[in-house]
Amino acid sequence: MFSHPDLLLALGAGYTALSLLTFLVYAYDKAAARAGRRRVPERQLLVLGLLGGWPGGWLAQQLLRHKSAKPTFLWRFWISVGLHLMALGLGWRWLAG
């Protein structure tokens, strides 16, 4: 089992990698929208956020202004963030014993 410092390092690396991937997928989707190409399904963007890439998704919404004015997407995004954080909290509590 992980010690707490190892677990924190692994979580940090995971969040960083997933956030970077999610940001890049949002950027790709924004470019595809502008060019009239096939888009990334919203479900995929939401799943990436749910898995832990939500900080990158939120940053892309702010910096790229992508999906930031679509209320139906935004409420689903924030629900997925809440679900992720609840799962993280439950997992942490379980690991702590």
State pLDDT tens for residues 43-62: 999 999 999 999 999 999 99
DSSP string, 40-94: PPHHHHHHHIIIIIHHHHHHHHHHH--STT-HHHHHHHHHHHHHHHHHHHHHHHH
When mean pLDDT is compared across 2-6, 10-14, 81-85, the lowest value belongs to 2-6
Six token digits for residue 59? 């940053």
Contact 49, 80 (CB under 8 A): yes
Q: Give mean pLDDT, residues 75-96.
A: 90
What are the domain boundaries of the chain?
4-96
Q: What are phi and psi of 32, to 5 degrees?
A: -65, -40
What is the C-alpha end-to-end distance of the chain, expressed in Å? Answer: 12
